[in-house]
Amino acid sequence: METPKSGIYRRFFKRPMDFFLSLTALIILSPVLVIIGLLVRIKLGSPVIFKQERPGLNEKIFTMYKFRTMTDEKDENGKLLPDSTRLTTFGRILRSTSLDELPELFNVLKGDMSLVGPRPLLPEYVPLYNKQQRKRLSVLPGITGWAQVNGRNALTWEEKFKLDTWYVENWNLILDLKIIAKTIQAIIKREGISAQGEATMPRFTGSVLTEISKQGKDYYE
């Protein structure tokens, strides 16, 4: 839910900051990107970059880039094996250090993403959102966000969406800078990389939706 104040911030501060910082990061980290790309090619093969369609601002679909962290191993029926089987030791290192996310800087540079915002999820999740959860699609998705610095994949989907909604309703420059600082801290500590008992985050299958009519308003839980 963008207010006039947040709209001014997005147009005159957030987008220029995203462009400048992502371009600077890509220039400084270019040797790291090349080295990781070579290692992925050697250890996991091609393609080096994992591409996947994700819904962005106002549900506009874009292609998100990440370094590949899994193999393409399949069972006898041609179905991909579980993430826990395909995720290699090298891939776990990339994920735990968030180095697999570096190619998303190109998404920020293009304007598909922001440095800070709700993480872009799978397109098939969109119809499962309730009215409150859908607010996360009213801003650009981010490389990091309020949910990522408050538990990341150790949170339940409902907890993550509540944090995303809170960010959408309260975003500002100070908050974004705070999130960036906390992200660096979380990466160093390697916190919340995966859900408990899972190699990655389990799929979102929808929330229990309770709609209550009260004083002409709809309430969702």
Q: Is 12 within a domain?
A: yes
Q: What is the pLDDT of residues 92-110, one digit of tens each?
A: 999 888 899 999 999 999 9
Q: Is 80 within a domain?
A: yes
Please check whether residue 66 is in contact with residue 113, taking contact to mean a CB–CB distance below 8 angstroms: no
Q: Is the pLDDT at 188 greater than 60, yes or no?
A: yes
The predicted pLDDT at position 221 comes to 34
Q: Is 70 within a domain?
A: yes
Total structural domains in the chain?
A: 1
* Whole-angstrom distance, CA of residue 164 vs CA of residue 125: 15
Q: What is the pLDDT of residues 123-170, one digit of tens each?
A: 999 999 999 999 999 999 999 999 999 987 778 899 999 999 999 998
Q: Is 27 within a domain?
A: yes
% of the chain residues with pLDDT over 90: 58
HSE-up of residue 53 (Cα within 13 Å, Cβ side): 7
- pTM, full prediction: 0.82
% of the chain residues with pLDDT over 70: 83
Q: Is 217 within a domain?
A: no
* Whole-angstrom distance, CA of residue 145 vs CA of residue 125: 18
Backbone phi, psi, residue 164, to 5°: -60, -45
The mean pLDDT value of the chain amounts to 84
Q: How confident is the model at residue 84 (pLDDT cuts 50, 70, 90)?
A: confident
Which residues are paired to 49 by β-bridges? 67
Q: Which residue has the higher pLDDT, 72 or 54?
A: 54
Q: Is 213 within a domain?
A: no
Q: Is the pLDDT at 215 greater than 50, yes or no?
A: no
Q: Is 143 within a domain?
A: yes
Domain that holds residue 16: 4-206
Q: Is 18 within a domain?
A: yes
Q: What is the pLDDT of residues 29-51, one digit of tens each?
A: 999 999 999 999 999 999 999 99
Backbone phi, psi, residue 119, to 5°: -65, 135
Q: How confident is the model at residue 55 (pLDDT cuts 50, 70, 90)?
A: very high
